[in-house]
Structure 1
Amino acid sequence: MASSGVSGGPRPRAIIRSVVVAVCGVAMTAVGAVSTAQAGPSPDRAAPEAAGIAWTSCEPPFADDDQLQCGKLSVPLDWDRPNGERIDLAVIRHLASRPQERIGSAFLNPGGPGQSGVTVVGEGGADFDQWSGGRFDVVGWDPRGTGASSPVTCFRSDAERDQFWAGVSIPMTTAESQAYQRKAVELARRCGEVHGDLLNHISTADTARDLDALRQAVGDRELTYIGLSYGSMLGQTYANLFPDRVRAMMLDGIVDPVAYTASAESRTVNGVAFTDEVFDQFLALCQSAGPDRCALAGHGETVEQRVARIFATARQAPIPAPHADPPGELSYGDLLTTTYAPLRQPDTWPQFAQDLNAAADGDASALETTARQVQTPVIYGEIPKSVAISCLDGPASQPSTAWPQVIDTFTDSSRLWGPVLGWWLWAPCASNWPASSNDRYTGPWNASTETPILLINNRYDPATGYGNAQAAEQRLGNAVLLTVNGWGHPSYQLPSTCTDQARQRYLVDLVTPPKGTVCEPDRLPFP
Structure 2
Amino acid sequence: MDEKHMIGGLAWNQQRTNSRSKLWIIIPSILSFLYILFRGWWSILPSTNETSFLKFNRERINWEPCGDFEASPLECSSIHVPMDQFDLQNSGNRTFTIPLVRMRGSNATQNLLLNPGGPGASGFQFLYNRGKQLKAVVGEGYHLLSFDPRGVNSSTPTASCYPDDRTRQKLAHVRSLDVLGDSPEVYAWAQNFFRACSDTMGEHAMYLNTPQTAADMNSILDALGQEDMIYWGFSYGSLLGQTYAGLFPERSKRVIIDGVVNQFEWYEGLFEAQSLIDTDTVLDGFFEECINAGADTCTLASLATSKEKLRNTVLSYIHMLQQQPIGVYINNSVYGLLDYEKVWYNGFLEALYKPSIWSTLADNMYKLIQGNATNAFLEYANKEIRDWRHEANEFITLNDGISGPEHWPQDRQTFLENITPLFNHSLFSPVQSKIYYMRQHWNIPKTHSYVPRKGVKTTHPMLILSTTYDPVCPLIAAWSANEAFEGSQVIEVKGYGHCSVALPSVCVAKYVREFLYGGKLPDTYTQCEVDSSYFHRLNKSRQLPAYKHFEDAEEARIHLAQVLLARNWDFALGK
Using structure 2 for the length normalisation, give the TM-score. 0.76
User: Where does 1:476-491 land on structure 2 (aligned, <5 Å)?
Assistant: 476-491=485-500
CA distance in 1, matches of 2:83, 2:378: 40
* CA 281–366 in structure 1, closer or farther in 2 if over 3 Å, else same: same
CA distance in 1, matches of 2:80, 2:424: 45
Q: 1:301-359: CA deviations, max 9, x gaps?
A: 63212212123212333244444974222333333312221110000001111222233
- Tell me if structure 2 keeps the 8 A contact 1:170–1:334: no
> Which residue number in structure 1 is paired with residue 196 of structure 2?
190
User: Aligned AA for 1:228?
Assistant: F
Is the counterpart of residue 413 in structure 1 residue 419 in structure 2?
no
Correspondence for 2:162 among 147, 155, 166: 155
CA distance in 1, matches of 2:236, 2:359: 28
Is the counterpart of residue 520 in structure 1 residue 551 in structure 2?
no
* CA 311–399 in structure 1, closer or farther in 2 if over 3 Å, else same: farther
Tell me which moved more, 444-453 or 399-408.
399-408
> Which residue number in structure 2 is paired with residue 267 of structure 1?
271
- Tell me if structure 1 keeps the 8 A contact 2:69–2:128: no
- Tell me if structure 1 keeps the 8 A contact 2:238–2:260: yes
> Which residue number in structure 1 is paired with residue 117 of structure 2?
111
> Which residue number in structure 2 is paired with residue 29 of structure 1?
none
> Which residue number in structure 1 is paired with residue 519 of structure 2?
510
Q: 1:161-182: CA deviations, max 9, x gaps?
A: 222246x554327443322332
> Which residue number in structure 2 is paired with residue 30 of structure 1?
none
> Which residue number in structure 1 is paired with residue 335 of structure 2?
327
CA distance in 1, matches of 2:420, 2:326: 24
CA distance in 2, matches of 1:333, 1:491: 28
User: Aligned AA for 1:253?
Assistant: G
- Tell me if structure 2 keeps the 8 A contact 1:129–1:135: no
Offset of 1:460 from its aligned partner? 1.4
Correspondence for 1:247 among 242, 250, 253: 253
CA distance in 2, matches of 1:153, 1:245: 32
- RMSD of aligned alpha carbons: 2.5
Larger relative helix fraction = 2
* CA 331–267 in structure 1, closer or farther in 2 if over 3 Å, else same: same
CA distance in 2, matches of 1:484, 1:245: 28
- Tell me if structure 1 keeps the 8 A contact 2:175–2:185: no
Offset of 1:364 from its aligned partner? 4.4
Is the counterpart of residue 53 in structure 1 residue 65 in structure 2?
no
2:301 alignment partner, SS class:
coil
* CA 313–252 in structure 1, closer or farther in 2 if over 3 Å, else same: same
Q: 1:165-217: CA deviations, max 9, x gaps?
A: 46x55432744332233222222221111112121001100001001111111
Offset of 1:300 from its aligned partner? 4.9
CA distance in 2, matches of 1:203, 1:255: 15
CA distance in 2, matches of 1:411, 1:323: 36
1:57 alignment partner, SS class:
strand
User: Aligned AA for 1:420?
Assistant: V
User: Aligned AA for 2:160?
Assistant: T
* CA 281–64 in structure 1, closer or farther in 2 if over 3 Å, else same: closer
Offset of 1:478 from its aligned partner? 1.9
Offset of 1:445 from its aligned partner? 4.2
CA distance in 1, matches of 2:390, 2:318: 26
Correspondence for 2:293 among 265, 278, 289: 289
Q: 1:390-413: CA deviations, max 9, x gaps?
A: 101113332572553355323201
Offset of 1:363 from its aligned partner? 4.7
CA distance in 2, matches of 1:364, 1:408: 33
User: Aligned AA for 1:54?
Assistant: N
Is the counterpart of residue 428 in structure 1 residue 469 in structure 2?
no
Correspondence for 1:138 among 113, 135, 144: 144
> Which residue number in structure 2 is paired with residue 216 of structure 1?
222
2:260 alignment partner, SS class:
coil
Offset of 1:434 from its aligned partner? 4.2
Is the counterpart of residue 387 in structure 1 residue 402 in structure 2?
no
User: Aligned AA for 2:341?
Assistant: G
- Tell me if structure 2 keeps the 8 A contact 1:204–1:234: yes
User: Aligned AA for 1:409?
Assistant: P
CA distance in 2, matches of 1:316, 1:160: 33
The higher radius of gyration belongs to 2
User: Aligned AA for 1:234?
Assistant: L
Offset of 1:383 from its aligned partner? 7.5
> Which residue number in structure 2 is paired with residue 497 of structure 1?
506
CA distance in 1, matches of 2:343, 2:417: 22
* CA 381–360 in structure 1, closer or farther in 2 if over 3 Å, else same: same
Q: 1:39-91: CA deviations, max 9, x gaps?
A: xxxxxxxxxxx982221111x6x589663110001110012332511221011
* CA 182–65 in structure 1, closer or farther in 2 if over 3 Å, else same: farther
CA distance in 2, matches of 1:274, 1:244: 34
CA distance in 2, matches of 1:249, 1:292: 43
Tell me which moved more, 433-442 or 71-80.
433-442
User: Where does 1:57-206 land on structure 2 (aligned, <5 Å)?
Assistant: 57-58=65-66, 62=68, 67-82=73-88, 84=92, 85-98=94-107, 102-150=108-156, 151-165=158-172, 168-172=174-178, 174-206=180-212
2:127 alignment partner, SS class:
helix
Count of aligned residue pairs for this structure pair: 468
User: Aligned AA for 2:292?
Assistant: S
> Which residue number in structure 2 is paired with residue 337 of structure 1?
345
User: Aligned AA for 1:257?
Assistant: Q
RCO comparison, higher one (Cα < 8 Å, 6+) = 1
- Tell me if structure 2 keeps the 8 A contact 1:118–1:140: yes
Q: 1:114-170: CA deviations, max 9, x gaps?
A: 11112211222222223332111111011101011122122222221222246x554
Identity of aligned residues (%): 26
Tell me which moved more, 469-478 or 380-389.
380-389
Offset of 1:286 from its aligned partner? 0.8
1:67 alignment partner, SS class:
strand
Is the counterpart of residue 465 in structure 1 residue 474 in structure 2?
yes
CA distance in 1, matches of 2:422, 2:366: 28
CA distance in 1, matches of 2:326, 2:96: 48
Q: 1:214-260: CA deviations, max 9, x gaps?
A: 11111111110111111110111111111111110111101100111
- Tell me if structure 2 keeps the 8 A contact 1:171–1:177: no
Q: 1:360-403: CA deviations, max 9, x gaps?
A: 234545445444555x343x537722111010111333257255
For structure 2, list consecutive stretches of 5 or more residues without a partner in the other structure: 1-20, 26-57, 537-575
Correspondence for 1:299 among 284, 287, 303: 303
